[in-house]
Structure 1
Amino acid sequence: MKLSAPIFQLKRRAKIMVRNNNVPLHEALDQIAREEGFARWSLLSSQIAAGSLSKTILSRLDDGDLLLVAGRPGHGKTTLGLQLLLDAARNDRKAVFFTLESTEQQARKHIRSLEKDAHGFGDTLEIVTSDEISADYIIHHLSGSKRGTVAVIDYLQILDQQRSKPALSDQVLALGEFARKTGVVFGFISQIDRSFDPESKRLPDIRDIRLPNLVDLGLFTKACFLHNGEAHLQDIA
């Protein structure tokens, strides 16, 4: 959906509404969002942040990449992950969504909301919701996949939630080795730490990744950070 004005101008209008009408900022933002056809501001910002990269992100990924897609809840990281899979499907690539967070029904509903054509590419996406999802499970599932296959994992911080699964650092290392050998592209949806302060910087960065269990972030090759309608893709040195 095309907005009536750039998002920074919409934010400015909301701040003027706060001053003139003495309403909380979140109410003003939600009202602006409704005028733009969204139920609330978080939905508008998540769609716009993800949409700003969705047309180019696949072409900016190389075979074997490990991509972090990170942001606060409601700021578009799952949307961007699913749009990446849709773009892969449109390019006749195998696309798989491994989720420990959503049901298949929830994921399908989200995918349908993102499809802008009637070709039904979303129906070709494979959605895996097994509680057994881990690096070993994913590697076994993708064994024999062609180079350029795209898999998105939802989400990084709960891959080792069950004590029976290997440590997160070991799982990321194993998936990285598998990616380099096979050319499979992995996207990891990731939380950011609550200490991230949008008043001090517009977007989170690699220092804001939430790590309840330590993992070497240098194992990832690229990262995309999203917040409040903005998104930035960068290489990880």
Structure 2
Amino acid sequence: MSIRESTPAGRAAWSPADVTGARYAERVRAVLDQALSEELPAVRRAAELVADSFATEGIFYVFGSGHSHMFGEEAFYRAGGAARVCPILKPAHMLHEGAVHSTVLERRTGQAESVLDGYRLDGARDVLLIASNSGANPLPVEVAQAAQARGVPLITITSRGYASAIDRPGPRLHDIADVVVDNHCPPGDALVALGPGLPSAGPSSTVVGLALLDAIIVEALGIQLRRGETPEVFMSANMPGAAEHNSESARRLSHLIPHL
């Protein structure tokens, strides 16, 4: 986001006074409101795929590398979240084993099968969501293509604007996914200008993207209810009856979800 884009309307120039938590909250709220409003049709289409998977005893897989691995963790074993969710978690592609190295790996080709190794990904029952803000790095794109080769329906949460701004050959996630949910975040992700010669600050893609992800899951559970099906949902561990409820769900699903 440029300094001009970050300058509030009606003010002639950037000022250090604009760099506040309140300014960030204002900007991220605007992006979130736009995404939740304009992407509701895509959220519903994605949720239909997820609900269809749940109805056939399938699994909703979630993958992202770098910071986007948090999408898998948000959806998995979550209080108030769907039980039939499996994150694809490979430590080398997360952050804790080396953040710089994970960025290098994200740009290498030929790793999709090793990432998917150990996960069932049955095209007849399962669905996959891949989160990638830029949607342009080889790793998420190749994982998407590998999943589609197995017949698995593909959802992506990405930024079309960011993907289109990257001058690099090759497909983008929004070109190949069955359902695209646009997070409406700007190229570079950050929302608040710090001043001439400095990068902008205040990332937006995780805040907005996780809200879209949870909206998909809640919509999928609602679709199940409207079909007369009983959704499988984890409870907060501190709620009455949660231990028994969650243990039973984990017991039934542990053969499908390795991280349980």
TM-score range relative to shorter protein: 0.3 to 0.5
Output the TM-score relative to the length of structure 2: 0.38
Larger Rg: 2
More strand by share: 1
